[in-house]
Structure 1
């Protein structure tokens, strides 16, 4: 277990991301969602991350139901603020697939990084989760709302943390520049960086990770598979939620071939790489089935040979200054 910054909130090295059980892209049954969470628990995962955005509340409801009979002191839950869910006027026909989720469009999202919006969002999340508190809260994707996020939302979270309502506060984004600014200019405990520190995308190594290490800010890495390409590279595989460009597919296939040559898997390497950085507290994986969860747990526990990392560097597929796992002597 690692602690998020100076907060005292502990997280497991591998974390469960609940977007998929919010019907990301395709529908998942309640039973399958609960089985996925059960598999995560059985695999030793004790950190669970969700958000109102995921299935317009479905992921929070399902995660809360799946954890309801677990001892509350034994797990960590984080959710996010920045999007309020408002009921859709009139007939709620249609779905939410334009936003990536296969759910009825009963609600729509309203961007709100005001102090009042933060409190309203958190209250609604607690109700959906069926919890009296969450352990950590992230500002969710404030890319186009930087001024309000820094001036209103962040101070609101800071006050809630000071009052003991929250243990840890942070920001979750798919970019590094604003996350680095939050690390440098605020007192966040943690940043959630999705897709920007992977075997295919190393940009967090330049500024974000060194800044976090200097400040004692924890980093949670999401999107280690870049939304699919590093899990199973093949024509049509997705990279950052769109079909991967040919050059990225070629690079992923090279990585896969090198992994297999060294007797390991690309999935194991993709999870091991971000976890090796000293600023990284946890690697967040999204899974929609117990099979996917068990595979992630197994791959995460698999030691990747040192020769694999050496070949990546020799082939200019990995920066020379990127930390890699250190194998214990046999």
Structure 2
């Protein structure tokens, strides 16, 4: 499997990563057995890069992912998690965590903390939940309202951990492109995890972040290539950015699907391949909540996408002319 180095680090990743938010019961429950089977199905599909965070299910995702990965050879995979939210136990369970998107009991509360001490505590707690000896990659997680503390305290702490060899690579993970661009300009990050902002339906990441990352040698991992579901299966009830898709976006996704079908390509395959048109993109990250979804992602990313498909999408104005496609990158 072809791998790419993340920035100037020694960490190398393949084209597909498994996002473990669904294993933390994102929106609906997944049992322990299915969670483990999903990780093993991703492994069988060739995935060697796994991403989680304390936020996902109040630590449930980390615990489940760690349990599954402990059965696999540690030297053969890359594990990433995130810092910025500390989990503090509550004196008693207070309902569920669905207000934050996870179908788990509200056993803890999240406390934002981008201090240096908060970073160290977060990494230590994640290692304990994972039950593993190290984390390869740590991201600053969603510092939208904490930009200055993340820049002046959390980032230097991660930089020190990288220099000491505790972490192999460091990055920032967000659902927006503007603040990560600032971090790329002002720090020495290895990688940006950009969710939902570089897809067949949303290319906001191309305005500044992706060109800047390419210029500075920073890698980009693209999450949300299906925009939370619309580009996986454009049904009337499909979601875009985790809310019901507007009618105009649903119509656009269906047109994308029709053009792809005319070229013999599932929309999912085109959505997975599209980001690789940009030279800064090292991998795409896909969440899965079942073995079938994990296996499908592996199958889809391996499907060839003909050059004529990208040309057709531009001719029909379903992609802007200036957007780089895998054809143009080859």
TM exceeds 0.5? yes
SS where residue 326 of structure 1 aligns?
Answer: helix
Is the CA contact 2:310–2:327 (under 8 Å) kept in the aligned structure 1?
Answer: no
Q: Offset at 1:318?
A: 1.0
Alignment gaps of 5+ in structure 2: none
Is the CA contact 2:278–2:329 (under 8 Å) kept in the aligned structure 1?
Answer: no
Is the CA contact 2:81–2:135 (under 8 Å) kept in the aligned structure 1?
Answer: yes
1:42 to 41, 44, 69: 44
Give the length in aligned residue pairs: 328
Q: Offset at 1:301?
A: 0.5
Distance 1:8 1:320 in 2: 35
Q: Which residue of 1 aligns with 2:11?
A: 9
SS where residue 326 of structure 2 aligns?
Answer: coil
TM (norm. structure 2) is: 0.97
Residues 1-330 of structure 1 aligned to structure 2 (within 5 Å): 1-89=3-91, 91-326=92-327
Distance 2:46 2:173 in 1: 24
Q: Offset at 1:239?
A: 0.5
Moved more, 17-26 or 305-314: 305-314
Alignment gaps of 5+ in structure 1: none
Task: Provide, for residues 210-262 of structure 1, a one-character-per-residue CA deviation record: whole Å limited to 9, x for no partner.
Answer: 00000000000000000000000011111011111111111111101111111
Q: Offset at 1:276?
A: 2.6
Is the CA contact 1:305–1:327 (under 8 Å) kept in the aligned structure 2?
Answer: no
Flag the 1:172–1:327 CA change in 2: closer, same or farther, 3 A: closer
Task: Provide, for residues 164-223 of structure 1, a one-character-per-residue CA deviation record: whole Å limited to 9, x for no partner.
Answer: 111100000000000111111100000000000000001111211100000000000000
Q: Offset at 1:328?
A: 12
- Pairwise CA RMSD of aligned residues? 1.3
Q: Offset at 1:160?
A: 0.8
Task: Provide, for residues 128-169 of structure 1, a one-character-per-residue CA deviation record: whole Å limited to 9, x for no partner.
Answer: 001121000000000000010001000110111111111100
Is the CA contact 2:34–2:290 (under 8 Å) kept in the aligned structure 1?
Answer: yes
SS where residue 252 of structure 1 aligns?
Answer: helix
Q: Offset at 1:321?
A: 2.5
Distance 2:301 2:71 in 1: 26
TM (norm. structure 1) is: 0.97
